[in-house]
A = this chain, B = another copy of it.
Amino acid sequence: MNIGEASKSSGVSAKMIRYYESIGLIPEAGRTVAGYRVYTMTDVQLLRFIRRARDLGFSVEKIEELLALWQDRSRQSADVKQIALQQIAGLEVRIREMQAMMDTLRHLADACCGDHRPDCPILADLVNGPDHGSGAREEDQQSAPRSGKAAGLQAH
């Protein structure tokens, strides 16, 4: 099986298959005489594993751990579970951060009449900061630390 077919039947792009190989996430594929990569169904299964884990939001680093456990016949399911729980916790944090943003934005948008006039509580909030909001709405998020880590939350 060439890389194209492996890609199709695993759902991982050829580009990413090469990338995963380059970073050592998957072993180096066999090659034909001409240098083409060759894949077996076992390799495809590995790629599907990775694909599925990516779909669940795992980072490549975590996937490395998961793969190691998968291939370790004497693993303890507790170790797998712990990785999953960590992942859940991370998702929870980021969801809460985004939820907080959304709540704030909703309140601001609700307060904005959205007509032809220039006056806008949304801009007012951006200028003055949350502390000057009329409703002191953002008390909900207790002491949001302004960490700068929230930066990872835009769409990109």
Contacts and interface: CB of A to CB of B under 8 A. Distances in A.
Interface of A: 11, 13, 45, 48-49, 52-59, 66, 69-70, 72-78, 80-82, 84-85, 87-88, 90-92, 94-95, 98-99, 101-102, 104-106, 108-109, 112-120, 122-123, 125-127, 129-130, 144, 146, 148, 150-156
Contacts of A120: 75, 77, 80-81
A53 B128 CA distance: 11
B105 A84 contact: yes
Q: How many of these chains are in the complex?
A: 2
A6 B88 CA distance: 38
B102 A91 contact: yes
Given A48-B129, A56-B101, A84-B122, 4 more contacts: A48-B127, A55-B101, A57-B150, A77-B112
A115 to B, nearest CB: 6
Given A56-B104, A95-B98, A101-B57, A122 B81 contact: yes
A117 to B, nearest CB: 6
Contacts of A127: 45, 48-49, 70
A78 B123 contact: no
Nearest to A118: B75
A5 B75 CA distance: 54
